[in-house]
Chains A and B, each alone.
Chain A
Protein backbone atom coordinates (compact mmCIF):
# COMPACT_ATOMS: atom_id res chain seq x y z
CA UNK A 1 0.00 0.00 0.00
CA UNK A 2 2.83 2.35 0.95
CA UNK A 3 4.69 1.41 -2.25
CA UNK A 4 1.61 2.30 -4.28
CA UNK A 5 1.05 5.65 -2.59
CA UNK A 6 4.73 6.61 -2.95
CA UNK A 7 4.58 5.48 -6.59
CA UNK A 8 1.50 7.60 -7.26
CA UNK A 9 3.10 10.64 -5.61
CA UNK A 10 6.17 10.29 -7.82
CA UNK A 11 4.59 9.26 -11.10
CA UNK A 12 1.02 10.67 -11.09
CA UNK A 13 1.77 12.93 -14.02
CA UNK A 14 2.56 9.97 -16.27
CA UNK A 15 -0.91 8.53 -15.65
CA UNK A 16 -2.61 11.87 -16.29
CA UNK A 17 -0.52 12.40 -19.42
CA UNK A 18 -1.44 8.96 -20.77
CA UNK A 19 -5.17 9.65 -20.29
CA UNK A 20 -4.96 13.04 -22.03
CA UNK A 21 -2.75 11.74 -24.85
CA UNK A 22 -4.96 8.73 -25.62
CA UNK A 23 -8.15 10.79 -25.46
CA UNK A 24 -6.68 13.27 -27.95
CA UNK A 25 -5.33 10.55 -30.21
CA UNK A 26 -8.57 8.58 -30.40
CA UNK A 27 -10.70 11.69 -30.78
CA UNK A 28 -8.65 12.62 -33.86
CA UNK A 29 -8.84 9.04 -35.23
CA UNK A 30 -12.60 8.79 -34.68
CA UNK A 31 -13.21 12.24 -36.14
CA UNK A 32 -11.52 11.12 -39.33
CA UNK A 33 -13.42 7.79 -39.27
CA UNK A 34 -16.76 9.53 -38.93
CA UNK A 35 -16.04 12.23 -41.49
CA UNK A 36 -18.05 11.61 -44.67
CA UNK A 37 -16.04 10.24 -47.56
CA UNK A 38 -16.03 12.04 -50.92
CA UNK A 39 -18.87 9.89 -52.21
CA UNK A 40 -20.91 10.52 -49.05
CA UNK A 41 -21.13 14.28 -49.44
CA UNK A 42 -22.43 16.59 -52.10
CA UNK A 43 -20.85 20.01 -52.40
CA UNK A 44 -22.52 22.67 -54.47
CA UNK A 45 -20.93 26.05 -55.04
CA UNK A 46 -22.96 28.99 -56.14
CA UNK A 47 -21.10 31.90 -57.70
CA UNK A 48 -23.41 34.87 -57.68
CA UNK A 49 -25.35 37.05 -55.29
CA UNK A 50 -29.02 36.18 -55.05
CA UNK A 51 -29.34 32.50 -54.11
CA UNK A 52 -30.46 31.50 -50.61
CA UNK A 53 -27.93 28.70 -50.07
CA UNK A 54 -29.39 27.57 -46.74
CA UNK A 55 -32.89 27.00 -48.13
CA UNK A 56 -31.59 25.16 -51.18
CA UNK A 57 -29.46 22.96 -48.90
CA UNK A 58 -32.53 22.16 -46.75
CA UNK A 59 -34.62 21.26 -49.76
CA UNK A 60 -31.97 19.04 -51.27
CA UNK A 61 -31.54 17.24 -47.92
CA UNK A 62 -35.26 16.50 -47.95
CA UNK A 63 -35.63 15.32 -51.54
CA UNK A 64 -32.30 13.61 -52.20
CA UNK A 65 -33.23 10.22 -50.70
CA UNK A 66 -36.07 10.05 -53.24
CA UNK A 67 -33.80 10.92 -56.17
CA UNK A 68 -31.00 8.40 -55.71
CA UNK A 69 -30.04 5.22 -53.86
CA UNK A 70 -26.61 6.65 -53.07
CA UNK A 71 -26.11 7.22 -49.33
CA UNK A 72 -25.30 10.87 -48.73
CA UNK A 73 -24.35 12.02 -45.23
CA UNK A 74 -23.77 15.67 -45.96
CA UNK A 75 -25.06 18.20 -48.45
CA UNK A 76 -23.57 21.64 -48.52
CA UNK A 77 -24.44 24.61 -50.68
CA UNK A 78 -21.92 27.39 -50.38
CA UNK A 79 -21.32 30.75 -51.88
CA UNK A 80 -17.55 31.15 -51.59
CA UNK A 81 -17.36 34.71 -52.85
CA UNK A 82 -20.41 36.25 -51.19
CA UNK A 83 -20.48 38.89 -53.80
CA UNK A 84 -18.73 38.42 -57.07
CA UNK A 85 -15.45 40.31 -57.06
CA UNK A 86 -12.17 40.37 -58.91
CA UNK A 87 -11.06 37.07 -57.30
CA UNK A 88 -13.84 35.29 -59.11
CA UNK A 89 -11.62 33.42 -61.58
CA UNK A 90 -9.06 32.27 -59.01
CA UNK A 91 -11.83 31.07 -56.70
CA UNK A 92 -13.46 29.21 -59.57
CA UNK A 93 -10.17 27.58 -60.53
CA UNK A 94 -9.79 26.07 -57.05
CA UNK A 95 -13.45 25.27 -56.41
CA UNK A 96 -13.72 23.22 -59.57
CA UNK A 97 -11.72 20.59 -57.66
CA UNK A 98 -13.76 20.70 -54.45
CA UNK A 99 -17.29 20.83 -55.78
CA UNK A 100 -19.70 18.42 -57.43
CA UNK A 101 -21.87 21.10 -58.99
CA UNK A 102 -21.16 24.76 -59.65
CA UNK A 103 -24.05 27.13 -60.27
CA UNK A 104 -23.52 30.47 -62.02
CA UNK A 105 -25.72 33.35 -62.93
CA UNK A 106 -25.60 33.21 -66.71
CA UNK A 107 -24.30 36.73 -67.26
CA UNK A 108 -21.08 35.79 -65.42
CA UNK A 109 -20.31 33.10 -67.96
CA UNK A 110 -18.07 33.53 -70.94
CA UNK A 111 -17.18 30.93 -73.53
CA UNK A 112 -13.54 31.03 -72.47
CA UNK A 113 -14.38 30.52 -68.81
CA UNK A 114 -16.57 27.52 -69.59
CA UNK A 115 -14.05 25.93 -71.94
CA UNK A 116 -11.19 26.50 -69.48
CA UNK A 117 -12.85 25.09 -66.37
CA UNK A 118 -15.33 22.47 -67.55
CA UNK A 119 -15.38 19.42 -69.78
CA UNK A 120 -18.01 18.81 -72.47
CA UNK A 121 -20.88 16.59 -71.40
CA UNK A 122 -20.80 13.08 -72.93
CA UNK A 123 -23.13 13.06 -75.90
CA UNK A 124 -24.84 9.76 -74.96
CA UNK A 125 -25.76 11.30 -71.60
CA UNK A 126 -27.18 14.53 -73.03
CA UNK A 127 -29.15 12.71 -75.75
CA UNK A 128 -30.60 10.22 -73.31
CA UNK A 129 -31.39 12.33 -70.31
CA UNK A 130 -31.74 15.98 -71.30
CA UNK A 131 -33.58 18.17 -73.75
CA UNK A 132 -30.99 19.77 -76.07
CA UNK A 133 -32.67 23.17 -75.71
CA UNK A 134 -31.92 23.30 -71.98
CA UNK A 135 -28.18 22.66 -72.28
CA UNK A 136 -25.57 25.37 -72.05
CA UNK A 137 -23.43 24.93 -75.14
CA UNK A 138 -20.30 26.61 -76.44
CA UNK A 139 -19.72 26.29 -80.21
CA UNK A 140 -22.49 23.70 -80.30
CA UNK A 141 -20.84 21.52 -77.63
CA UNK A 142 -22.89 21.11 -74.43
CA UNK A 143 -21.05 21.86 -71.17
CA UNK A 144 -23.75 22.58 -68.61
CA UNK A 145 -27.43 23.03 -67.93
CA UNK A 146 -29.73 26.05 -67.95
CA UNK A 147 -31.89 25.61 -64.88
CA UNK A 148 -35.53 26.57 -65.51
CA UNK A 149 -36.31 29.62 -63.37
CA UNK A 150 -39.34 27.97 -61.69
CA UNK A 151 -37.05 25.30 -60.24
CA UNK A 152 -35.00 27.85 -58.31
CA UNK A 153 -37.66 30.50 -57.72
CA UNK A 154 -38.08 29.52 -54.06
CA UNK A 155 -34.41 30.16 -53.35
CA UNK A 156 -33.38 32.70 -55.94
CA UNK A 157 -34.33 36.36 -55.68
CA UNK A 158 -32.59 37.59 -58.84
CA UNK A 159 -34.02 37.89 -62.34
CA UNK A 160 -31.08 36.27 -64.18
CA UNK A 161 -31.14 32.71 -65.42
CA UNK A 162 -28.81 30.24 -63.69
CA UNK A 163 -26.63 27.53 -65.15
CA UNK A 164 -25.33 24.41 -63.44
CA UNK A 165 -22.12 22.59 -64.32
CA UNK A 166 -20.98 19.15 -63.14
CA UNK A 167 -17.28 19.28 -62.34
CA UNK A 168 -14.85 16.78 -63.81
CA UNK A 169 -13.53 16.05 -60.29
CA UNK A 170 -16.94 14.99 -58.93
CA UNK A 171 -17.19 11.37 -57.79
CA UNK A 172 -20.96 11.67 -57.54
CA UNK A 173 -21.77 12.21 -61.21
CA UNK A 174 -22.20 8.52 -62.14
CA UNK A 175 -18.65 8.42 -63.48
CA UNK A 176 -19.43 10.50 -66.58
CA UNK A 177 -15.99 12.12 -66.46
CA UNK A 178 -14.20 8.98 -65.26
CA UNK A 179 -14.29 9.83 -61.54
CA UNK A 180 -16.19 7.56 -59.16
CA UNK A 181 -18.54 4.81 -60.26
CA UNK A 182 -21.90 4.61 -62.00
CA UNK A 183 -23.77 3.94 -58.75
CA UNK A 184 -22.65 7.20 -57.15
CA UNK A 185 -24.95 9.43 -59.11
CA UNK A 186 -26.40 11.93 -56.60
CA UNK A 187 -24.96 15.04 -58.30
CA UNK A 188 -26.28 13.96 -61.70
CA UNK A 189 -29.70 13.18 -60.19
CA UNK A 190 -29.85 16.63 -58.59
CA UNK A 191 -29.16 18.28 -61.95
CA UNK A 192 -31.78 16.03 -63.58
CA UNK A 193 -34.24 17.07 -60.86
CA UNK A 194 -33.62 20.75 -61.57
CA UNK A 195 -34.07 20.11 -65.29
CA UNK A 196 -37.34 18.28 -64.63
CA UNK A 197 -36.19 14.89 -65.93
CA UNK A 198 -35.95 13.15 -62.55
CA UNK A 199 -38.89 13.74 -60.23
CA UNK A 200 -38.97 12.18 -56.76
Chain B
Protein backbone atom coordinates (compact mmCIF):
# COMPACT_ATOMS: atom_id res chain seq x y z
CA UNK B 1 0.00 0.00 0.00
CA UNK B 2 1.31 3.44 -0.92
CA UNK B 3 0.74 6.77 0.86
CA UNK B 4 1.72 10.11 -0.71
CA UNK B 5 2.40 13.40 1.03
CA UNK B 6 -0.48 15.24 -0.63
CA UNK B 7 -2.92 12.33 -0.66
CA UNK B 8 -3.76 13.48 -4.21
CA UNK B 9 -1.79 13.88 -7.42
CA UNK B 10 0.39 16.95 -8.02
CA UNK B 11 -1.99 18.11 -10.76
CA UNK B 12 -4.95 17.95 -8.39
CA UNK B 13 -2.89 19.79 -5.78
CA UNK B 14 -2.16 22.60 -8.26
CA UNK B 15 -5.87 22.84 -9.10
CA UNK B 16 -6.60 23.14 -5.40
CA UNK B 17 -4.04 25.99 -5.21
CA UNK B 18 -5.71 27.81 -8.07
CA UNK B 19 -9.15 27.43 -6.46
CA UNK B 20 -7.77 28.80 -3.20
CA UNK B 21 -6.21 31.79 -4.98
CA UNK B 22 -9.48 32.43 -6.83
CA UNK B 23 -11.24 32.46 -3.46
CA UNK B 24 -8.94 35.25 -2.22
CA UNK B 25 -9.39 37.26 -5.39
CA UNK B 26 -13.18 36.84 -5.15
CA UNK B 27 -13.12 37.92 -1.53
CA UNK B 28 -11.03 40.99 -2.36
CA UNK B 29 -13.35 42.02 -5.21
CA UNK B 30 -16.39 41.56 -2.99
CA UNK B 31 -14.76 43.87 -0.46
CA UNK B 32 -14.02 46.41 -3.21
CA UNK B 33 -17.68 46.28 -4.37
CA UNK B 34 -18.91 46.87 -0.81
CA UNK B 35 -16.45 49.76 -0.42
CA UNK B 36 -17.66 51.39 -3.62
CA UNK B 37 -21.29 51.06 -2.46
CA UNK B 38 -20.45 52.49 0.97
CA UNK B 39 -18.44 55.38 -0.48
CA UNK B 40 -21.27 56.22 -2.89
CA UNK B 41 -23.64 56.28 0.08
CA UNK B 42 -21.35 58.68 1.91
CA UNK B 43 -23.09 61.44 3.84
CA UNK B 44 -21.41 63.58 6.46
CA UNK B 45 -23.89 62.46 9.17
CA UNK B 46 -22.79 58.82 8.81
CA UNK B 47 -19.08 59.60 8.57
CA UNK B 48 -17.90 57.46 11.49
CA UNK B 49 -20.36 54.62 10.84
CA UNK B 50 -19.18 54.27 7.24
CA UNK B 51 -15.54 54.65 8.25
CA UNK B 52 -15.93 51.85 10.83
CA UNK B 53 -17.75 49.60 8.35
CA UNK B 54 -15.06 50.06 5.71
CA UNK B 55 -12.27 49.33 8.16
CA UNK B 56 -14.13 46.32 9.60
CA UNK B 57 -14.74 44.82 6.14
CA UNK B 58 -11.09 45.17 5.16
CA UNK B 59 -9.80 43.87 8.47
CA UNK B 60 -12.08 40.80 8.37
CA UNK B 61 -11.23 40.02 4.74
CA UNK B 62 -7.52 40.48 5.33
CA UNK B 63 -7.65 38.26 8.45
CA UNK B 64 -9.37 35.49 6.51
CA UNK B 65 -6.85 35.83 3.68
CA UNK B 66 -3.83 35.98 6.02
CA UNK B 67 -5.05 32.87 7.88
CA UNK B 68 -5.80 30.86 4.76
CA UNK B 69 -2.60 31.87 2.96
CA UNK B 70 -0.43 30.85 5.91
CA UNK B 71 -2.37 27.75 6.92
CA UNK B 72 -3.62 26.39 3.60
CA UNK B 73 -2.07 27.88 0.47
CA UNK B 74 1.62 28.15 1.41
CA UNK B 75 1.81 24.70 3.11
CA UNK B 76 0.03 23.17 0.11
CA UNK B 77 2.50 24.79 -2.30
CA UNK B 78 5.43 23.54 -0.24
CA UNK B 79 3.97 20.00 -0.18
CA UNK B 80 3.48 20.13 -3.96
CA UNK B 81 7.07 21.30 -4.42
CA UNK B 82 8.31 18.43 -2.23
CA UNK B 83 6.15 15.82 -3.91
CA UNK B 84 7.28 16.88 -7.37
CA UNK B 85 10.97 17.09 -6.34
CA UNK B 86 13.75 14.63 -7.16
CA UNK B 87 13.23 11.54 -4.99
CA UNK B 88 15.60 9.08 -3.36
CA UNK B 89 14.50 5.64 -2.14
CA UNK B 90 15.20 4.12 1.25
CA UNK B 91 13.89 1.01 2.94
CA UNK B 92 14.01 1.19 6.71
CA UNK B 93 12.24 0.33 9.96
CA UNK B 94 10.84 3.18 12.03
CA UNK B 95 12.62 3.32 15.40
CA UNK B 96 10.86 6.32 16.89
CA UNK B 97 8.70 9.36 16.09
CA UNK B 98 9.26 12.62 17.94
CA UNK B 99 6.48 14.32 19.92
CA UNK B 100 7.64 17.84 19.02
CA UNK B 101 7.79 19.33 15.55
CA UNK B 102 10.63 21.03 13.71
CA UNK B 103 10.16 23.61 11.01
CA UNK B 104 11.89 22.13 7.96
CA UNK B 105 11.57 24.00 4.72
CA UNK B 106 8.73 26.14 6.12
CA UNK B 107 6.68 23.13 7.18
CA UNK B 108 6.10 21.67 10.64
CA UNK B 109 7.64 18.20 10.57
CA UNK B 110 7.83 15.28 12.99
CA UNK B 111 11.28 13.74 13.27
CA UNK B 112 11.14 10.08 12.32
CA UNK B 113 14.18 7.95 13.20
CA UNK B 114 14.49 4.97 10.85
CA UNK B 115 17.48 2.66 11.05
CA UNK B 116 19.31 5.44 12.92
CA UNK B 117 18.63 8.08 10.22
CA UNK B 118 16.70 11.25 10.95
CA UNK B 119 13.89 11.73 8.46
CA UNK B 120 11.25 14.43 8.47
CA UNK B 121 7.53 13.84 8.14
CA UNK B 122 5.37 16.96 7.46
CA UNK B 123 2.48 17.16 9.93
CA UNK B 124 0.16 18.59 7.27
CA UNK B 125 0.78 15.74 4.85
CA UNK B 126 -1.33 12.60 4.50
CA UNK B 127 1.37 10.08 5.47
CA UNK B 128 1.02 8.10 8.72
CA UNK B 129 3.75 5.70 9.92
CA UNK B 130 3.94 3.38 12.91
CA UNK B 131 6.94 2.61 15.11
CA UNK B 132 8.38 -0.87 14.47
CA UNK B 133 6.99 -1.17 10.93
CA UNK B 134 9.28 -1.41 7.89
CA UNK B 135 8.52 0.90 4.97
CA UNK B 136 9.92 1.80 1.58
CA UNK B 137 10.44 5.60 1.81
CA UNK B 138 10.70 8.09 -1.04
CA UNK B 139 12.71 11.07 0.24
CA UNK B 140 13.30 14.62 -1.00
CA UNK B 141 16.02 16.32 1.07
CA UNK B 142 15.33 13.87 3.92
CA UNK B 143 11.64 14.75 3.92
CA UNK B 144 9.36 11.75 3.49
CA UNK B 145 7.15 12.31 0.43
CA UNK B 146 5.91 8.78 -0.20
CA UNK B 147 5.69 5.60 1.84
CA UNK B 148 5.14 2.02 0.68
CA UNK B 149 4.32 -0.67 3.18
A contact residues vs B (CB 8 Å cutoff): 3, 6-7, 10-11, 14-15, 18-19, 22-23, 25-27, 29-30, 33-34
Contacts and interface: CB of A to CB of B under 8 A. Distances in A.
A141 B62 CA distance: 64
28 contacts: A3-B71, A6-B108, A10-B70, A11-B66, A11-B70, A14-B66, A15-B63, A15-B66, A18-B58, A18-B59, A18-B62, A18-B63, A18-B66, A19-B55, A19-B59, A22-B54, A22-B59, A22-B62, A23-B55, A26-B51, A26-B54, A26-B58, A29-B54, A30-B47, A30-B51, A30-B54, A33-B42, A34-B47
Interface pairs A-B: 7 shortest CB-CB: A18-B62, A22-B58, A30-B51, A26-B54, A26-B55, A14-B66, A22-B55
Contacts of B44: 34
Interface of B: 39, 42, 44, 47, 50-51, 54-55, 58-59, 62-63, 66-67, 70-71, 108
Nearest to A24: B55
Nearest to A23: B55
Contacts of A7: 67, 70-71
Chain B residues touching A, majority SS: helix
Contacts of A11: 66, 70
Contacts of B71: 3, 7
Contacts of A6: 108
Contacts of A25: 58
B137 to A, nearest CB: 26
A6 B101 CA distance: 12
Contacts of B55: 19, 22-23, 26
A6 B70 CA distance: 11
A11 B66 CA distance: 9
Contacts of B63: 15, 18
Given A18-B66, A29-B54, 11 more contacts: A3-B71, A7-B71, A11-B66, A14-B66, A14-B70, A18-B58, A18-B63, A19-B59, A22-B62, A30-B47, A33-B42
Nearest to A27: B51
Contacts of A3: 71
Contacts of B67: 7
Contacts of A29: 39, 54
B21 to A, nearest CB: 18
B121 to A, nearest CB: 17
Contacts of A22: 54-55, 58-59, 62
